[in-house]
Structure 1
Amino acid sequence: MNFIPKHITDTRRGILLMLAASFFFALTMAFAKLLSGSMGSVEVTFWRNAVGLIIISVTIVHTPVHNIGGRPYTLIFRGVIGAVALLTFFYSISATSLSAAIVYAKTEPIFTAVLALFLLGEKLKFRAVLAIIIGFTGVAVMSNMKIDYLHVMGIMTGFLSALAYTSVRSLKAHYDTRTVVLSFMLFGTFIPVILMIAAEFYTSELFAFALSPFVAPEGSDWVWIILMGSAAALGQIYMTRAYFYAQAGLVSTVSYSVVLFASIFGILLGDQLPTLIMITGAILIVLSGILLSIA
């Protein structure tokens, strides 16, 4: 594994790396969308993490992790919450357009700012407060003021992701980054297995996002599974390297390019063109995230 000295700054390279990361993350969504035609979102979540678990395990064998430890419950919490966030995200991908799913997921910075205020006691500047208001206005516009199951799942993705990322901030000083990712992958593999077993005996409209039976992959499914896991791993690698080379605020702003890439892939896969209302809501949410990244 190549390590990059933290003092090196190359803004152009950082931007290009983040664009590459966004492309691969959007590609991950596209493969997940293709898989949703033959299996449930819970199984898609399982395969996404199972492939990632293999990849991260190989890196740990090659370069062992070094942990100080001391926060086991927070580490477990991050793994569980991150896995549930992925369940709601892949459910959104299977039930709506890629552009809508990713825009809802991108509400994460809004919820992160709110959680930092209440859980970490961080003070919010006026720009951050304004950004939060703009972001929630965008959510209201995008959902057309409707609170149905699909919109709740989209919003839950953003909220749960924010909760997971907020917990990561308290883990940085105690655990190797790969240990935190490994926790996420382990729970992201184990929890879907339990849910797929439960789905054989129990159904629920309320927990539709978390209950779908296992369907044995066939033919091209294996291709999409491998490509999905590989694209996700590449996205993670490029994103991490981007933060080494450029300022976090700039990289976070460029990360919103994933909305464009996901929209293009979605249209290529048959998604309808976004409506004016959806575009307006998306613009407000993206604007909110950008303001928060530079606040």
Structure 2
Amino acid sequence: MITHRSSTRSGILYMLAASFLFALTMAFAKLLSSSMGSVEVTFWRNAIGLIVISITLYHSPIHNIGGRPYTLIFRGIIGTIALLTFFYTISATSLSNAIVYAKTEPIFTAILAFIFLNEPLKRTTIIAILIGFLGVIILSGTEWNTLYFMGILTGFLSALAYTSVRSLKAYYDERSVVLSFMIFGTLLPIAMMSIGEFYPVNIFGFEFIPFVFPSSSDWLWIIFMGVTAAFGQVYMTRAYFYAKAGIVSTVSYSVILFATLFGIVLGDMLPTSTIILGGALIIFSGILLTRQK
């Protein structure tokens, strides 16, 4: 018989494993960024994920109630753009900085849930949001360049995607939501790279550049990136099955530690005191917000 305590422990261990694998995914994406743009990295990340999801469909077909196709499409498109901005920040800054920006997602999720899902804003929630934005200001300082804009945009778009997922739970199998993300995450980069074949442009850090056929070593990183991301998703899902969302969400911040360690191995500089302070406030804000769920 599985006790509540052992179930919670299993959830924590699964989330730690997921965080470790997601940090590895970031590290492989960072290695690939030296030879290809963030658009192509996004393409490979989702193309491999699409194969993995398709295999699961073969063994266990999807059963949907349906009824919200436009929301499903919206989630796929927004999730893809969020991944594009995230991989851009990975290529432009350290892994620790990139993941801290992505972790602003709970701040925007609380605001969007209040606006679109009519979820109340408690006093603690408002305080947490203000603390989070203070962390963002400290992290960015007075230099609001493309990197900082894309970093914050990652958090905002991730929050949009997460909020839309919450509204889809009653209508679609979770694999349908993931499949929507994977399909658009493959098609949109293909469209961008196709445009880049004739009109190479750079819009807010999104480089519309032609497809670059991966080298032999790149294929290794591509496969590792896809596999670690897929298993990371599996373990994250199991974590939420075994333990409460507030506990799992709090443990998920361990990805920042793993990403920082992998970043140092890859040559990233140690975080400055300003980055540590700003990041700590964002993490504290996120933990407060997840505890409200």
* TM-score normalised per structure 1: 0.96
**Is residue 2:245 matched to residue 1:248?**
yes
Give me the whole-angstrom Cα distance separating, in 2, the residues matched to 1:254 and 1:58: 30
- Cα RMSD (Å) of the superposition? 1.4
Instruction: Give the AA of the match of 1:88.
Output: T
| Residues 245-254 or 141-150, more deviating | 141-150
Report if aligned partners of 2:37, 2:207 keep a CA contact under 8 Å in 1.
no
Corresponding residue for residue 18 of structure 1: 15
Tell me which residue corresponds to 2:290: 293
Q: Matched residues in 1 for 2:182 and 2:207: separation? A: 17
Contact conserved, 2:90 with 2:98, CA < 8 A, in 1?
A: yes
Paired residue for 1:72?
69
- Mapping of 1:198-209 within 5 angstroms? 198-209=195-206
Aligned partners of 2:5 and 2:230: how far apart in 1?
24
Alignment of structure 1 residues 208-287 onto 2, 5 Å: 208-287=205-284
Q: Given that residues 56 and 178 in structure 1 are in contact (C-alpha distance below 8 angstroms), is that contact kept between their aligned partners in structure 2? A: yes
* 2:171 corresponding residue in structure 1: 174
- Aligned partners of 2:259 and 2:209: how far apart in 1? 25
Shift, 1:9, TM fit = 6.7
Distance 1:124 1:9, change over 3 A: farther
Structure 2 unmatched ranges of 5 or more? none
The whole-number CA distance in structure 1 between the counterparts of 2:79 and 2:111 is: 18
Q: Deviations over 1:203-242 (max 9, x none)?
A: 4443432523211001110000000000000100000000
SS in 1 for 2:281: helix
1:134 aligns with 2:105: no
Moved more, 194-203 or 218-227: 194-203
Give the Cα separation in 1 of the matches to 2:162 and 2:117. 13
Deviations 1:93-115 (A, max 9, x none): 01110000000000000000010
Counterparts of 1:2-13 in structure 2, within 5 Å, are 10-13=7-10
Q: Identity of paired residues, percent?
A: 68
- 2-side partners of 1:97 and 1:161: how far apart? 20
Amino acid at match of 1:152: F
Q: Which runs of 4+ in 1 moved over 6 A?
A: none
Q: SS of the counterpart of 2:168?
A: coil
Is residue 2:80 matched to residue 1:115?
no
Distance between the aligned counterparts of 2:205 and 2:133, measured in 1? 25
Establish whether residue 51 from structure 1 lines up as the match of residue 48 from structure 2: yes
CA distance in 2, matches of 1:120, 1:65: 27
After superposition, give the CA deviation of every residue in 1:100-159 in whole Å (9 maximum; x if it has no partner): 000000000000001011111211111110000000100110011321101000000000
Partner of 1:153: 150
Q: Secondary structure at the match of 1:65?
A: coil
- Rounded to whole Å, the distance in 2 between the matches of 1:173 and 1:221 is 40
Distance 1:92 1:253, change over 3 A: same
Is residue 98 of structure 2 the alignment partner of residue 101 of structure 1?
Answer: yes
Aligned counterparts of 2:127 and 2:52: Cα–Cα separation in 1: 41
Q: TM-score, normalised by structure 2?
A: 0.97
Check whether the contact 1:8–1:245 (CA below 8 A) recurs between aligned residues: no
Q: How many residues align?
A: 290
What CA distance in whole angstroms lies between the structure 1 residues aligned with 2:5 and 2:46? 32
Match for 1:84: what amino acid?
A: I
Mark the runs of 5 or more structure 1 residues left unpaired by the alignment.
Answer: none
Letter in 1 for 2:42: T
